């Protein structure tokens, strides 16, 4: 194999980016380790694309430093960086064959034609399109065009591969398939990849680390499991998966666990820094346990909506903690709308968050 990858790290040190008087990025710092797939996740307008474009060298920071592979690239233009980008729109040339599209970046950067074609074929082989080199992009499906765009980025042997919402033009079923392919390739080649999405499920599925952004800053960085199980804030709890936010009273701490009184029911969760008094808990919809027997716990509720979805029943429960959204996988034990029930909680789906 002639394609050869040296995965680079990416470091942002106190980076800000202003466009006129709009602050797109406000003093962010993070480190991406070589060989990792890190996702920038957040709502539209939070600064994901701007961050990616600064890694690419298509935008330059107003303040701060950027290092790629330990080299300060803050002021280097895009052409002098070892990164390549896969765009949401694919951006293939319609009049060039698939192989010519993939080879294009190489020939522009001075690679001999024969070597460029050889690498292009290897790139197409990596994405499972070895037999499609002679076709035009218009003769491929959307998913295949996206794979051509990935091959075109890979043949440049980037230290860092950048992907900006690469699946957003694909339909839902295909999206899952292509995201698995991208993840497999990244792991197989040991690439450093920075992946932008606004879709939390996609981020959970593909990432080693997720950097959640909100309003130009980093809200939390961690593994998918850390973000889901130990969300630092109500924003993260609600953005990564669904969460009910409820208020409880922290009564005592025992080792790493806090005992919290939630409407008369005691729960134990990792305590973070809170010591006592009122606290906010994020409660996953499937962490609320419903009991048909209304007196089973100290916490009463009433079923106000019930929707059967085949593998689960989704309930809305009115309770003294407020309205709760509950998912129950015991579809053989439905709770009837209007009935009085009792509630408690499964500790696995609870986390203390900053209010």
Ligand X SMILES: Nc1ncnc2c1ncn2[C@@H]1O[C@H](COP(=O)(O)OP(=O)(O)O)[C@@H](O)[C@H]1O
Residues found near ligand X in the complex (CB under 6 A): 19, 22, 24, 42, 44-50
Closest distance between Mg ion and the C-beta of residue 334, in Å? 42
Closest residue to Mg ion, judged by C-beta, is 49
Contacting residue, 9, 36, 39, 49, with Mg ion by CB under 5 A: 49
| Between 65 and 198, CB nearer to ligand X | 198
Name the E strands within the chain.
10-19, 22-32, 37-41, 63-68, 71-72, 83-86, 160-164, 192-197, 209-214, 217-222, 244-254, 257-262, 265-270, 277-283, 288-291, 299-308, 313-319, 322-328, 340-345, 350-353
Closest distance between Mg ion and the C-beta of residue 342, in Å? 46
| Between 24 and 269, CB nearer to ligand X | 24
Closest distance between Mg ion and the C-beta of residue 119, in Å? 30
The CA distance from 245 to 283, in Å, is: 6
Q: How many residues bind Mg ion (CB under 5 A)?
A: 1
175 binds, among ligand X, Mg ion, none (CB under 5 to 8 A by kind): none
349 binds, among ligand X, Mg ion, none (CB under 5 to 8 A by kind): none
The CA distance from 331 to 314, in Å, is: 10
Residue 184: other Cβ atoms inside 10 A:
11
| Between 117 and 167, CB nearer to Mg ion | 167
- Among residues 289, 277, 278, the alpha carbon closest in space to that of 324 is found at 289
| Residues in contact with 108: Cβ distance below 8 Å, sequence separation at least 6, in sequence order | none
| Between 62 and 278, CB nearer to ligand X | 62
Closest distance between ligand X and the C-beta of residue 60, in Å? 12
Closest distance between Mg ion and the C-beta of residue 39, in Å? 13
| Between 211 and 299, CB nearer to ligand X | 211
Closest distance between ligand X and the C-beta of residue 234, in Å? 20
Q: Looking up tokens 């606004």, which residue turns up?
A: 198
44 binds, among ligand X, Mg ion, none (CB under 5 to 8 A by kind): ligand X
Residues in the site for Mg ion, rule: CB under 5 A? Answer: 49
């Amino acid at each position: 194999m002639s394609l050869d990858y040296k995965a680079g790290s990416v470091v942002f040190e106190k980076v800000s980016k202003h466009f006129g008087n709009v602050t797109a990025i406000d003093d962010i710092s993070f480190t991406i380790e070589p060989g990792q797939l890190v996702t920038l996740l957040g709502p539209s307008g939070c600064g994901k694309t701007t961050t990616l474009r600064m890694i690419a060298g298509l935008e330059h920071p107003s303040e701060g430093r950027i290092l790629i592979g330990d080299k300060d690239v803050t002021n280097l233009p895009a052409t002098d960086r070892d990164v390549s980008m896969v765009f949401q729109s694919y951006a293939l040339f319609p009049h060039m064959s698939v192989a010519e599209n993939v080879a294009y970046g190489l020939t522009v950067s001075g690679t001999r034609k024969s070597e460029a074609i050889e690498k292009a074929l290897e790139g197409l082989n990596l994405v499972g399109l070895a037999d499609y080199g002679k076709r035009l992009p218009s003769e491929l499906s959307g998913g295949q065009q996206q794979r051509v765009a990935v091959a075109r980025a890979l043949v440049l042997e980037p230290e860092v591969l950048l992907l900006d919402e690469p699946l957003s033009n694909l339909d839902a079923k295909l999206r899952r398939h292509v995201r698995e392919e991208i993840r497999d390739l990244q792991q197989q080649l040991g690439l450093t990849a920075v992946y932008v999405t606004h879709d939390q499920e996609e981020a959970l599925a593909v990432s080693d680390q997720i950097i959640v952004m909100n309003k130009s800053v980093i809200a939390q960085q961690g593994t998918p499991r850390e973000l889901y199980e130990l969300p630092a804030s109500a924003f993260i709890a609600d953005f990564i998966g669904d969460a009910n936010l409820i208020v409880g009273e922290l009564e005592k701490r025992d080792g790493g666990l806090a005992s919290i009184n939630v409407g008369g029911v005691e729960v134990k969760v990792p305590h973070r820094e809170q010591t006592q008094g009122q606290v906010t808990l994020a409660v996953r919809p499937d962490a609320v346990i419903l009991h048909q027997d209304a007196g089973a716990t100290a916490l009463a509720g009433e079923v106000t909506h019930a929707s059967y979805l085949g593998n689960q029943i989704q309930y809305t429960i009115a309770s003294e903690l407020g309205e709760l959204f509950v998912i129950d996988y015991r579809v053989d034990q439905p709770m009837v709308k209007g009935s009085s029930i009792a509630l408690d909680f499964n500790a696995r789906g609870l986390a203390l968050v900053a209010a």
